[in-house]
Every structure is written in structure tokens, then in C-alpha cells.
């Protein structure tokens, strides 16, 4: 079964840091371009960033609101995707999904992990 499972969410104070993880299974993780998408409570979807496969240089792209604060990385040996979030702000409060289109026309999304930034 193709699956993505996020973890690492929780409560953090403004200015704090958190690292989210996403475990992939059932597909060739190393070939997949992986993305993070977030959804603030009651709001729409917002793309956070992506990391290409290592065969495509493994480069990263980020949305403007998180650039310079968030870092996406991957460990293909462990089939793991990470999102390091620093200098967290209240506006970063959201449900964070990892997702990939691992094959043409086939998306997989995790169930999401909730991050709450509050003093």
C-alpha cells in the first residue's frame, strides 16, 4: 500500500523550532519529488515547498512566507522526508501534509500533522 505518514507536530512558542517527519512506503521514495503543503484552521491549502529527487539534483524550492526559516531535506535510505521549521510565527499554525505525485496522475497525501504556534 502506498502511504505517507507525518509526525512531529505539536505546540511551540513564537520564535521556536520544530522538525516534522514524513515516512513514505509502497513506492520508490528516492525517485519521488516530495512536497509539504499546509492548511491553517478553516483556511485553504498553501504550498510550503518541495525537494526534488537526488537524480534531479535534490534541489529545494520554498514559498515566500517560509523562505529562509524552513528547510526541507530527505533521507532516501530511510524513505524519510523532513521539514525543519525555525523562527516559527503564529501564522505558521496549520495542519502540515506531505505529498508526492510519485507516478503520472497518482498523488499520495499523508494524514497531516498539526503545528500550533502560540504563546
Partner 1 sequence: QSVLTQPPSVSAAPGQKVTISCSGSSSNIGNNYVSWYRQLPGTAPKLLIYDNNKRPSGIPDRFSGSKSGTSATLAITGLQTGDEADYYCGTWDSSLSAGWVFGGGTKLTVL
Q: Quick check: 106 binds partner 1 (CB under 8 A)?
A: yes
Q: Quick check: 44 binds partner 1 (CB under 8 A)?
A: yes
Contacts by 48-57, CB closer than 8 A, 24 or more apart: 48/72, 48/83, 48/96, 49/83, 51/81, 54/30, 55/30, 55/31
User: CB–CB of 37/46 below 8 Å?
Assistant: yes
Q: Quick check: 111 binds partner 1 (CB under 8 A)?
A: yes
Q: Quick check: 42 binds partner 1 (CB under 8 A)?
A: no
- Binding positions for partner 1, rule: CB under 8 A: 35, 37, 44-47, 49-50, 61-64, 97, 99, 101, 104-107, 109-112
Amino acid at each position: 500500500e502506498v502511504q505517507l505518514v507525518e509526525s512531529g507536530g505539536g505546540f511551540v512558542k513564537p520564535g521556536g523550532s520544530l522538525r516534522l517527519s514524513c515516512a513514505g512506503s509502497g513506492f520508490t521514495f528516492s525517485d519521488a519529488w516530495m512536497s509539504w503543503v499546509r492548511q491553517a484552521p478553516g483556511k485553504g491549502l498553501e504550498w510550503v515547498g518541495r525537494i526534488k529527487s537526488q537524480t534531479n539534483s535534490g534541489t529545494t524550492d520554498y514559498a515566500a512566507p517560509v523562505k529562509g526559516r524552513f528547510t526541507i531535506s530527505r533521507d532516501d535510505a530511510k524513505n524519510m522526508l523532513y521539514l525543519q521549521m525555525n523562527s516559527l510565527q503564529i501564522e505558521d499554525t496549520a495542519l502540515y501534509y506531505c505529498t508526492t505525485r510519485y507516478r503520472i496522475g497518482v498523488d499520495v497525501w499523508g494524514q497531516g500533522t498539526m503545528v500550533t504556534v502560540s504563546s
